[in-house]
Structure 1
Amino acid sequence: MSTQEATRVAVVTGGSRGIGRETVSRLAADGHAVVVGHAGNRELAEAAVKEVAAAGGRAVAVRADVADEEDVAALFATAESRFGGVDVVVHAAGRMYLSPVAELDLAELDAMHRTNIRGSFVVAREAARTLRPGGALITFSTSVVGLAFPGYGAYSASKGAVEALTMVLARELRGRDVTVNTVAPGPTATDLFLEGKDEETVARLAAQPSLERLGTPADIAAVVSFLASPAGHWVNGQVVRANGGIV
């Protein structure tokens, strides 16, 4: 891919690991210049940038706390100054804390909601102000919102807020030619998902989808790629449950 072909610009939060990292690679392969937002793992973020560059693309890593409006404004300003604007925003940064409601640590709840809810609003606000016509904002929820697994109350509540925000914003941007959608993965083999789970639990969750396996970051990045592309531009105001057929 030549530099000239990178005509669209994507901002990806949570771009140093997991689904975010795979999304960086996929959007770069699709022809986007990519701003890789990360919370502080500079080494992994720079590795993502180097991978894009090695394939002939353009990328830059920027540290940003997604719940801090100044950090997020600087993230978008980098996209403007380095690449000329913003066409796609993928808000993949997130935090997961699992606990029965009766045993909930409210400090953990506050920290998770700061990232998942406030962070989503801060990024969505900047995206709404910045995205060019033909653009797309893609947020992340979870299929657990509909499945109601025990232990996921706090996490599901935070992601339910993201779904509500996304649906409202899609309507608020009427006339802008900008789409707003949420991707809600099922069990996906990322460090965030696998952390703290034994093999039996992972095997049980992998057996739930009709396709009888865990999702991969590449599976989810492919959905993001479609929603970010002109081919996916007629999809708007939707929650896409990318979960292999969990019912």
Structure 2
Amino acid sequence: MDLFYKQYGKHNPPLIILHGLLGASGNWHTLSRNVFKEKATVYAVDQRNHGRSPHHETLTYEAMADDIRDFIHRHALGTVTLLGHSMGGKTAMQTALSYPGLVDRLIVADMAPKAYPPHHTELLEALAAIDPSAYDSRSAIDEALAEDVPSFPIRQFLLKNLAYEDGTYRWQMNLGAIRANYEAINAAITSGRTFDKPTLFVRGGRSDYVADADLPAIRGLFPHARLETIADAGHWVHADAPDAFARLVMDFLAD
């Protein structure tokens, strides 16, 4: 699958960044452009069924790891550093475990390899209840979405998935495939092997996604994992505390 991506900088090593569920490469634009490109060639990727990448009925971590393997080969990147947030963190973990020869370092933002309860069911149902083509403005879609999603920041994030073409709005992500594969998206990452290279897990202190109790499972798969906590950040750790997150990543790349 030929994934859409945005490239920043021209320094080694290559750094591939993977967004979370219902996100896209643009979520990482500011950090990639202003910070990461100074030490790496950054490839911010749209994962399958998200952003401007192709749609497919399959949405498993094995399939998404294969997409990243193919991306590395297609662009002749050799070995790379992977950075993934949330769902993208699980894709990064699966890629490192399945294709350790392609990954030098791994960075996971606020995600553990465990299975998670379905946090996003109501959001997915709210999105599915709206036909964007029935509206003539972004503000009208926002108003309709507000009935089920009262949080303005969450709506702003979701509305980044709107595309406007030929006078018509549509959801850019493959909402049908995401809903059909939601159980697989929440599934645990498992493997009969370990990733024995430098690994950094970064969690938000106000997030409950990565608990101290998850450390044994993390180190069972990633023996060299280091866990850092940014106290004043939530699940969107890189957006809540971009400077602190960037320092951790840049120090890890330079180590």
Global fold match (TM > 0.5): no
**What TM-score comes out, normalization by structure 1 length?**
0.42
Bigger helix fraction: 1
**What TM-score comes out, normalization by structure 2 length?**
0.41
Bigger strand fraction: 2
